[in-house]
Structure 1
């Protein structure tokens, strides 16, 4: 009996699902630890320094290396293999995260040292996240799981981590202090490394680029592979349009989450409790949307699903806040927006996977993700400056309009019709020998 043959006791079925289960479990563990850290680390800086400026500086020093290093490690993932990159970078992140409470306990933790440590965490986390993304479709095809379902489950994992992680981080910080959250974060990275290193099948996640000569191991070989990824992406009009669109919407999402919602909560008198409620409601609804997408998105027209998802997830959030609606109405709109958002990543992830050859998966994924995330550090800065000049409501209206126009104008472009085609150029049929070893792509955070 082969590994894929159906067995009476279902053993072979469980074996076929083991790779996908292992990758998703590792993603869940590491993402949850990261979300816990998003609460614990800023609070630790605030209570130890009392400076909001230094808190923002710490966040900037983590996210900037994340985006930059992720952009340039795509060829490395292709050369070394996503499995090796994933477990080694998670182990490096665990060490850097654990060093923060250790140095603090020894009274050796200065602000420059903290900035170095969080920069190391970000620099290691970028390639680690990329490597796990790359392994999702390979794991799905090994288990003969539809691609939209696999990317949908990946989206569910991310949404759950974004819902559960902050709540867990807040509880840990309240009960045991911020250092406990950082210790848990380090433990999550270590556990994720262990899962990838030991729990996945031996033949999974290996390098996809054959070494043709000794020269390929040097700098010029790396830059040539990096250039190949850039050239491929530039020639893919559908992928490039999606990435640019997502980059703009990510900037607007960063603006509303980091500045506009807190300002609204203060000016409306709803306070920080409302911020937590809005995040929880939207996160829970996004989980529901992702679950439905995992089950049904592969049967639906992709373009209609993506455009409807963006229509629900984008402009309504800005508009409901601009019109000073009661909290109940705000929560209802955010729930609908979260539900729509849950459908987006599974479909876009499937489209990107189909159109990129496996041997270029790491470098194209890395470039796409980094371009899509490039505006996130600027979102809060631009929104804060705009609110100071013209006030909250005009900025909310302008952002909502920009969100609506960006997503709909992109959807009207002729290349978007290719989204509904059953595959991209040079893509083998599902579950063929070549297709069974391909990687993943996802540009929406």
Structure 2
């Protein structure tokens, strides 16, 4: 996870900057983000039953290898003067389509590791969050440095190398037997063999859980805004403020480093805290302030301070939400339900950069930052006040026995 996520975070800096400096267009930058994330969401939604049946290990290493191949083609074709903008869109679409199942497969293996390690799910998902935050810290810092010193093509080449190394690690270095297909001895043969039946079963389970649905809708809004922020608003701010790509990497690294601290604390104590309060407080810190500080044209030091506080709050959110998901979903259905939930909550991500690019071109950076910050605050707080969110604090006790039951 650390290796492949680090490469992805390097690409977060390198790819938008490559498009901005070669085309000068915020709209095209948003279009590239759309062409990567739309296939990510769609393919991920339909690969849940396959992950359950084939096994997450096989899916992970094969999709990382496909991502590495497509990512390596971008700098190679550009050097050969063969990279047109439509071809770039095709290549990033391939990367996104492969990343979706690969990320899902790695997520599905986390509860298995928790079970073997006999640790609380909040701790396991918290440690997974630490890995993600560390990858963000290192990847964004490395991306900013690589783009500044050696250009964006170097960052894209390193991204391809990280995908390839991640494929090798998962395929060859994991303990024997890790990441096998989910098995349900009590299931009927038709259920085990029918793809669409398995897909429909996951969809029906998700529709019947009001808490998960509410969380997914809220995350759909926040992920849309986060995508707009990362893929367009921050790069445009860096260019207009004169701070350049170094500021993108520095801000992301500061936020990621603080999130590591938050995730470590969450891994240690989150299973003892009230989940709803932790999630709401985390979103309050990581949401609107980031948008508002950029809109205020504040000094870089103030921007970094706000990003650090936001990162600390963000470190608490994913461990809690991840534990809630795993506790409420039977293990044999985890792949398909997780795939559907992630895809629905990520549905706005492809549009985030596309809409933000067009909006900034039409209205300017500051009004869009203010509008996005307000929307973030309302989405997280209104969702947290809904009655079904009270189930978040009761899930742990209600499902403790179910987690120990055979899958």
1:96 deviates by: 2.4
Find the residue that maps to 2:396 and give its secondary structure: coil
Question: Contact 2:281–2:313 at 8 Å: present in 1 too?
Answer: yes
Distance 1:91 1:260, change over 3 A: closer
Distance 1:351 1:372 in 2: 15
Alignment of 1:394-405 (within 5 A): 394-405=367-378
From the two aligned structures, give the one with the greater helix fraction.
2
Distance 1:270 1:196, change over 3 A: closer
Alignment of 1:167 with 2:141, yes or no, is: yes
Alignment of 1:131-210 (within 5 A): 131-209=105-183
Distance 1:134 1:59 in 2: 25
Find the residue that maps to 1:201 and give its secondary structure: coil
1:344-371 alpha-carbon deviations (Å, 9 max, x no partner):
0010000011001111111111111111
Q: Point out which structure has higher relative CO (alpha carbons under 8 A, 6+ apart).
A: 2
Give the match for residue 102 of structure 2: 128
Q: Which moved more, 1:268-277 or 1:84-93?
A: 268-277
Question: Contact 1:355–1:424 at 8 Å: present in 2 too?
Answer: no
Find the residue that maps to 1:342 and give its secondary structure: helix
Find the residue that maps to 2:401 and give its secondary structure: coil
Alignment of 1:77-92 (within 5 A): 77-92=51-66
Alignment of 1:398-413 (within 5 A): 398-413=371-386
Find the residue that maps to 1:402 and give its secondary structure: helix
Distance 1:52 1:324, change over 3 A: closer
CA RMSD for the aligned pairs? Answer: 3.0
1:321 deviates by: 4.1
TM-score, length basis structure 2 = 0.88
1:321-378 alpha-carbon deviations (Å, 9 max, x no partner):
4455554443322221111111100100000110011111111111111111111232
Question: Contact 1:91–1:190 at 8 Å: present in 2 too?
Answer: yes
Give the match for residue 291 of structure 1: 264
1:372-428 alpha-carbon deviations (Å, 9 max, x no partner):
111123234444555566665554444333222221221121111111125386663
Find the residue that maps to 1:428 and give its secondary structure: helix
Give the match for residue 242 of structure 1: 215
Find the residue that maps to 1:122 and give its secondary structure: helix
Q: Aligned to 2:316, which of 333, 343, 348?
A: 343
Give the match for residue 205 of structure 2: 232
Say which one has the larger Rg.
Answer: 1
Distance 1:62 1:401, change over 3 A: closer
Q: Aligned to 1:316, which of 289, 309, 320?
A: 289
1:241 deviates by: 0.5
Question: Contact 2:46–2:340 at 8 Å: present in 1 too?
Answer: yes
Distance 2:13 2:362 in 1: 30
TM-score, length basis structure 1 = 0.81
1:60-117 alpha-carbon deviations (Å, 9 max, x no partner):
3222111110111111111111111111111222222233444455555444443333
Q: How many residues align?
A: 405
Alignment of 1:418 with 2:391, yes or no, is: yes
Give the match for residue 340 of structure 2: 367
Distance 1:212 1:190, change over 3 A: farther
Alignment of 1:46-125 (within 5 A): 54-104=28-78, 108-125=82-99
Distance 1:103 1:259 in 2: 24
1:318 deviates by: 3.1
Alignment of 1:36 with 2:10, yes or no, is: yes
1:274 deviates by: 4.8
1:124-151 alpha-carbon deviations (Å, 9 max, x no partner):
1110000000000111110112211111
Distance 1:384 1:30, change over 3 A: closer
Give the match for residue 279 of structure 2: 306
Question: Contact 2:36–2:92 at 8 Å: present in 1 too?
Answer: yes
